[in-house]
Structure 1
Amino acid sequence: MGIDAFTDLRPGTPVKVFDLSGNQLAQGRLKAGTAGKVVGNSCTWPLEVHAVPGGATQYGLRIGERAELTKTREELESGVDLSFGSQ
């Protein structure tokens, strides 16, 4: 589970995928994070989302209530690890 400004991040936190028009396409969840995997006071969170429809070159990705990130289809297919924290 995250600490300080990251207490909302934990295994099971919802992960939603949107098209660029804002329509939700798929939903998944965060898996267990790994503390300090990147550098400093950070945690890396793998995520799991299945059945994201094709046809778009970019997708919006929202973890919990955090700001939406834009990822390409290739990034989603190759796997996305998110790192939060301070260095």
Structure 2
Amino acid sequence: LADEIKFSAVQSPIPLPKTRTPGDVIGILTGWGYPGMNSKVTDILQARTVSILTNKKCNDKNTNINDNQLCGFDGHATGFCT
């Protein structure tokens, strides 16, 4: 970062988990991505409920992720891979 982050009552670090996220659980995917095909990036935060998959299930879908990544999908057209 170009500037140091100044923490306050409304801005603080988020601790990272100490254990791996299990597969076959439900999560909420949020972001400012593309809300549809041929659309522009939205400036409104979007949220979608997704199934987080095991790495084996992700790799079975040819995503080729490693042990430090997550992937999942909503059963339709929305998915993610970190």
By the TM > 0.5 criterion, same fold? no
Higher relative contact order (CA 8 A, sep 6+): 1
Q: Which structure's residues are more often strand, by fraction?
A: 1
Q: Tell me the TM-score normalised to structure 2 length.
A: 0.33
Q: Tell me the TM-score normalised to structure 1 length.
A: 0.32
